[in-house]
Amino acid sequence: MNWTDERVEKLKKLWSEGLSASQIAAQLGGVSRNAVIGKVHRLNLPGRAKAGGTTTAARTPKRSAAAPRAASYGSRVATRTVVTRQQGATMLKEEIEVDSVNEIQYRPAANVVVPISRRLGLTELTERTCKWPVGDPLKDDFHFCGNDSPDSSPYCTYHQRMAYQPVHDRRRNNG
DNA sequence: CCCTGATTCGC
DNA sequence: GCGAATCAGG
């Protein structure tokens, strides 16, 4: 593989989003995490704040981790802040658009704190990473949760709950 | 042992 | 320029 403009752009994007070198390598495909790190340095992209371990994603102040608002079933699309997770010294959040119709089946209960996905590619999954698929397999950004899955479970603790949660556990009135 | 990024240096 | 090997750390 060579560093085409396209791949360099994707590298820049993912690196700026705070993904780790190995995650980026998996998403690009055909390169090692060392290759990614090497390229990052050659491009003089800003490194991570502290060396070692901690993933330093862009901090997103936003509002505090109040109870996430459940998506209204009345409107098809709603925005919900889903993520707050302590990762080292870094608090990660993300706001996503949810399709309230398609979301029903695996909808987390209100007030549940949803861990941010590590967004691993297929080749990056190991015995102890969560294999919960995220997104449309036919689309480009399809990935797996990738968070730690303890006790040889195929899923992280959060997605274990999702996997065994009754499908019809939802309120009919009052969202 | 899992993982992280940083650096070196032969290619 | 590239990236494996290595280093240093959580």
| pLDDT digits 0-9 by tens, A62-104 | 333 322 333 333 333 433 433 333 333 233 333 333 443 443 3
- How many domains is chain A built from? 2
Instruction: Please give the Cα distance from A171 to A175 (Å, whole number).
Output: 6
Q: Look at the block and give the residue holding tokens 């505090």.
A: A64
Enumerate residues 6+ apart whose C-beta is below 8 A from A156.
Answer: A115, A130, A132, A145, A147, A148, A149, A150
Residue A160 is assigned to a structural domain of this protein? yes
At A44, which helix (H) or strand (E)?
none
Q: Where is mean pLDDT largest: A14-28, A66-80, A116-130? A: A14-28
The mean pLDDT of chain A is 64
Structural domain boundaries, residue A121: 116-174
| CA A33 to C1' C7, whole Å | 15
Instruction: Please give the Cα distance from A150 to A158 (Å, whole number).
Output: 11
Residue A67 is assigned to a structural domain of this protein? no
pLDDT at A52: 39
Residue A16 is assigned to a structural domain of this protein? yes
What positions of strand C are covered by protein, i.e. any atom < 7 Å from a CB? 1-6, 8-10
**CB A35 within 7 Å, strand B:** no
pLDDT at A122: 75
- Among residues A30, A26, A85, A22, which one has the least CA distance to residue A53? A22
Residue A170 is assigned to a structural domain of this protein? yes
Q: What is the pTM of this model?
A: 0.48
Residue A63 is assigned to a structural domain of this protein? no
Residue A60 is assigned to a structural domain of this protein? no
Residue A101 is assigned to a structural domain of this protein? no
Residue A21 is assigned to a structural domain of this protein? yes
More confident position, A130 or A63: A130
What is the nearest nucleotide to A46, using C1' and CA?
Answer: B5
A29-61 pLDDT per residue, tens: 889 999 999 999 999 888 776 433 433 333 333
Give the mean model confidence (pLDDT) for residues A24-32.
90
| CA A33 to C1' C2, whole Å | 13
| CA A108 to C1' C7, whole Å | 43
Place A109 in a pLDDT band, splitting at 50, 70 and 90.
low
